[in-house]
Chain A
Amino acid sequence: MVKRLLLFIIFIFPLSCIDPYNIGIEEGEQLLTVDGFITNDFGPHTIRLTRSDTYGSVFEGLIRPIRRATVSVRDSQGLVTFLTETEPGTYVTPNDFAAKLGLSYTLQIRLSEGQEYTSFPEKINPVAPIDSVSYRSLQLATDNRLEDRVGVQLVAHFKDPSDQSNFYYWRTNPGMFVVVANPELYTLPPTDPTNPRGPAPKDCCATCYLVENSRLQNFTVASDEEFNGLSTRVPITFIEDNGLRFKDTYRAEILQMGISQGAHRFLRLVNQQLNITGSVFDQPPANIRGNMVSLDNPDEVVLGYFIAASVANKSVYIKREDLEFTAIPRIIPDDCQIVPGATLTPPAGWNP
């Protein structure tokens, strides 16, 4: 029947797009926010007290620390440990403080104006040790067709105990790496009176060490519903290759924490919010309830969560030669010590 078929012509443009959108948001409330955790490891452990602010306000980046508060943790045996304020709004436990397995802890706060707050008790449950940390070299597509993201995914291997419900919270400690520079390529500055841009090789130094801190920190949470009693693997984080990190050796350290069911629920909601994409399949925004309450006014909303956890950690050294994908290295034609924070002596615990 079909004798002839004539076909099609089409034009098409990229369809969907995401862009920043300006909306009027009412001025936000200034609610007490608690952020921090204590573990069964020796401290110092940090609790940060801040006030919330209007979302998207022009004073972005300005956090409002709460100063001169009295902050203490109290265990279920009645022992109270006071924290000291080291920076505005940052309160730390004494160096010799470590939470004890099996005890419950509450955080108690008294503001300088006199309002009092407390957390619900958080019990320290044991956590499985990390058997090993492995890594995979990954290449991910980006908005730019010509440039992929390259980096390393860290995977924690551990055996979940089968006789209990476990809730896991993973964070990474600040990464450390060898900064590779080329002092022999150093050239004089263009303003040099005698030999502008002339070669002037330096003898020192080709390798330094850097410990890096970043503002945005990923974290991962899981409950053992999916792997109770199994030896399992969980991808923890992705470290992007920025051209410097993986020129030689990179040390990553994973903290594996055992947390309460309430903390897990809280962190899961935080994670859900961090992963929102605006798509058809997003869950509607959830009210993230924490575990802090006001002792003066039960209706007052307190944000954040006081986490008490047991912790296990493990580090891994990532060598460049083991990576399948690497970014184009950034050349530093100078002494490596010009990189802010770089030192000649290896950081504590550096043992590749």
Chain B
Amino acid sequence: MKKILLLSFLFTFFFNGWIIAQQRNVVGRDIGELKNLKISGRITDQITGEALVGATVTVREINKTEITNSNGTFNLVLDRAEYILEFRYVGYETVIYPMIAVGEGRINLTMIQEDFTLDDVVIFGRDPEQNIRSTDMGAISISMNTLKELPPFLGEVDIIRSVATLPGVSQVGEASSGLNVRGGGADQNLIMFAGAPVYNPSHLFGLFTAFNPDVVNDFTLYKAIIPARFGGRGSSILDIGPKSGSLTRWGGDIMAGTVSGKASVNGPIVKDYLSAQVSFRGSYINWLLNSLNNPDLRTSQANFNDVNAILYGEINENHNLTYSFYRSYDDFALASDTTISWTNQSQSIRYSGRFGEKANLDIIGFQTLYDFTIFNQSGINNFDLKSGITDTGLRVNFTYDIGVKNRISIGGDTKQLTIQPGELIPDAGSESGVLPQKVQNEYGRESGVYFQHEFELGEKFGFTYGVRYDYYQYLGPRTVREYAENLPINSGNVIGERTYGDGEVIQTYDGFGPRVSMRYSLDSKTSIKAGYNKMYQFIHLISNTATIAPTDVWKLSDQFIRPQIVDQYSLGIYKNFKGNIFETSVEVYYKDIQNVVEYKDGARLLLQNNLETEIIPGVGQAYGVEVYAKKNLGRTTGWVSYTYSRALRRVITPFEEEIINDGEWFPANFDKPHDFTMIGNYKISTLTSFSATFSYSTGRPVTFPEAKFDFAGNSLAYFRNRNLQRIPDFHRLDVSLNFKLQGKGKFFDGDWTFAIMNVYGRKNPFSIFFADQAGSPPQAYRLAILGVPLPTLSYSLKF
């Protein structure tokens, strides 16, 4: 019986299909008229819904052509008969419309842009007016398809570097992995992969991002109004979503680039229920290092790799589970006697469920490990120096839709942090003349609960308000110093010690972080938004360098180092043009940062049991204007962004010797007032595209010597006030040409990408420094990381 039903169903389906294909559109209400039937119509763009003005309608049979008016409408007078209409519009696909006119009637027709079918050249996601209608501010989502069109960095799509092209986001220099978002330090960004935090997402000291672009589906950067479900970092959240494997067929790709290659495979383990995606990326950069002239680099060896595995299981259409494993590994043997190695490993398991039409539940459990080791094999006093971080946590988020555009989210999270700041282990084999040393482990627990409500009041107003309550505990076991009151905190002013037991609470901090934003729409394409949020951060990057380095130490808030508190006010105007093809925005922000960590001159941070003696608390201030224009679709896509911003610091303490720059505001290491980026992609043909990225920014602050003096036979520079001069401005143009290869067999499908970084070979200084070197007078030197045009070619193959 079933079979017959199925057969008949199939039969009907195909038969109908055949009929439809042959059928003409019947236009008009048949009241028996035969002549002068008035038929009107309107032509709109299928994507944008905009009326197409000046499109032509040709009736072949009577050789008549009409042109649409400013509303996109046209009028025809026809007799009762069969016709074939042709709709044409420049840049759009011609539509052939067979019809039978039977009475007075209307035709509504949509047309699609020609180049739209070339490829999926669409930057925006599902909802083109999301940027106007939502109350989100400073949230930018980008899909990997967009990124793949941009010029690659050393042959690879680089997520962190791409994020740095967005307005309000900058990097210290060409070889640094840290991001500075709206005047925040590199530690104020929470980078999450599949819901688990990642501490040092870089390969080769920041030359590459340690995320394989092939396993990334999309990412979202929140830099202004951060949803209440996120907390714990002051400036931004970068939420990177993994790609899960196909539930229906196996596939994969392979890519070979200049310095690394990668392969990935994905497909169903149990068809329609369980899929896997496994990727590996490995380096072969040693030949490149060996070709360099710098003797330290030439004698170095570097290896890096990363592995991802994602299992996705669909319990049924409403419930699914995702398990993600991520591990990145690096080692770098410097001049063959010191090896530096670091590993990030994170795992997460996520359950996502829908209960009825309105309720959603998300539960994520995660664990992150970060390990860093220096092996000293110089032959004298060999040792290993190890440090590490472990985070284990759970997040629950429940959302309920009260009505259309009216949603409540409630949830909470908790995580347990363990930091092992450093342990020096002398090499047992070589009679090491160094003492074993171990800095006390740190333990902390960070928890938060939140509530957020988003709703609309009519068409004009949208509101989001919420609050997050953060609760943090600094835990034992630990021995803590006590310092004399009203004296600077240094080793000379210790008056005692106190020992805390296992799990004993040493210090507690808590606070409410409101998140408020509202939107007022001037019309359907224009809106104004304003928002305020407050963030707490209980972990600090203790780094005296300008950027994130694997040697950096992370430190939990304790009784001396208070949590960083960031208050941010934002205001923006958003407008879309030409049916959302162009998106523009202007955002202004002001940020106030408390308890920024600054360093005493010549601070000693490594293996330091009492970091409070090396640092000084300061305050920060940041403000700026971000102007952004993006073209979302068409043959040419891309964006232009300009940011004017300042990031300032001030250190005032009661003790004169700790005051920096006489207590005045001074620029932070990453303060770059003008920042301009232009990114464009042009489809030359279906298979070929050209893209270019140009970026310009003010040089970052640097300290010039005020004088030169001689000591012990060396010329030394006398530095007084920090960061008052700047290195020369940065600008660079990168271009790339992408060919898609369509061979006869499908296994030959692939992409060739030819790219040139730094086309005009500008020696952008990463730093300006002062040195007295043998053979030349003491003088300033410039270090340029990419001093020449750098061509790369990569090939990727899909199967």
Contacts and interface: CB of A to CB of B under 8 A. Distances in A.
A143 B772 CA distance: 18
Contacts of A55: 704-708, 717, 770, 778-780
Contacts of B792: 10-12
B437 interface: yes
B760 interface: no
B60 interface: no
B358 interface: no
B7 interface: no
Given A235-B380, A285-B719, A3 B782 contact: no
B402 interface: no
Classify chain A: how many residues form its interface, as a range.
35 or more
Contacts of A143: 293-295
B522 interface: no
Contacts of B779: 20, 55-56
A52 B709 contact: yes
Given A20-B780, A227-B435, A286 B602 contact: yes
Interface string B192-223: 00000000000001100000000000000000
A230 B784 contact: no
A105 interface: no
A278 B780 CA distance: 10
Contact of A280 (B250, B545, B708, B718): B545
A232 B383 CA distance: 13
Interface in B311-365: 335
A301 B720 CA distance: 10
A146 interface: no
Contacts of A9: 793
B58 interface: no
A27 to B, nearest CB: 9
A282 B799 CA distance: 46
Contacts of A226: 424, 434-435, 437
B11 interface: no
A348 interface: no
Interface stretch (B37-45, B156-164, B252-260, B481-489): B252-260
A282 to B, nearest CB: 7
B767 interface: yes
A145 B291 CA distance: 10
A332 B546 CA distance: 51
A18 interface: yes
Interface string A23-67: 101101111010100000000000010101111110011010000
Contact of B705 (A22, A28, A61, A227): A28
Interface residues of B, number: 101
B665 interface: no
A279 B783 contact: yes
B785 to A, nearest CB: 5
Contacts of A53: 707-709
A298 to B, nearest CB: 10
B644 interface: no
A79 interface: no
Interface string A265-292: 1001110111011111111111111000
Contacts of A60: 777-778
Given A23-B768, A227-B435, A280 B546 contact: yes
Interface in B598-614: 599, 601-604
A28 B784 CA distance: 27
A280 B173 contact: yes
A284 B768 CA distance: 11
Contact of B299 (A8, A28, A141, A232): A141
Contacts of B712: 35, 171, 217, 219, 270
B583 to A, nearest CB: 35
A270 B788 contact: no
A28 B708 contact: yes
Interface string A223-238: 0011111111111000
Interface string B726-768: 0000000000000000000001101000000000000101111
B729 to A, nearest CB: 13
Contacts of A303: 707, 709, 711, 718
B278 to A, nearest CB: 12
A198 to B, nearest CB: 38
Nearest to B657: A289
A14 B771 contact: no
Contact of A17 (B295, B719, B763, B790): B763
B713 interface: yes
B8 interface: no
Interface in B262-284: 263, 265
Nearest to B172: A280
A272 B784 CA distance: 21
A67 B782 CA distance: 37
A289 B601 contact: yes
Interface in A186-244: 214-217, 219, 225-235
B292 interface: yes
A20 B776 contact: yes
A54 B704 CA distance: 11
Interface string A80-99: 00000000000000000000
Contact of B716 (A11, A30, A273, A301): A273
Given A12-B291, A52-B707, A283-B544, A288 B718 contact: yes
B671 to A, nearest CB: 13
B433 interface: yes
B797 A5 contact: yes
A169 B783 CA distance: 31
B793 A273 contact: no
14 contacts: A1-B265, A11-B793, A15-B785, A17-B763, A17-B783, A55-B780, A56-B708, A141-B296, A141-B298, A215-B713, A230-B433, A283-B602, A284-B599, A301-B720
The 3 closest A-B pairs by CB, nearest first: A232-B433, A28-B707, A21-B782
Given A11-B791, A274-B714, 10 more contacts: A14-B291, A16-B783, A18-B782, A35-B711, A55-B778, A55-B779, A214-B713, A278-B769, A284-B546, A304-B711
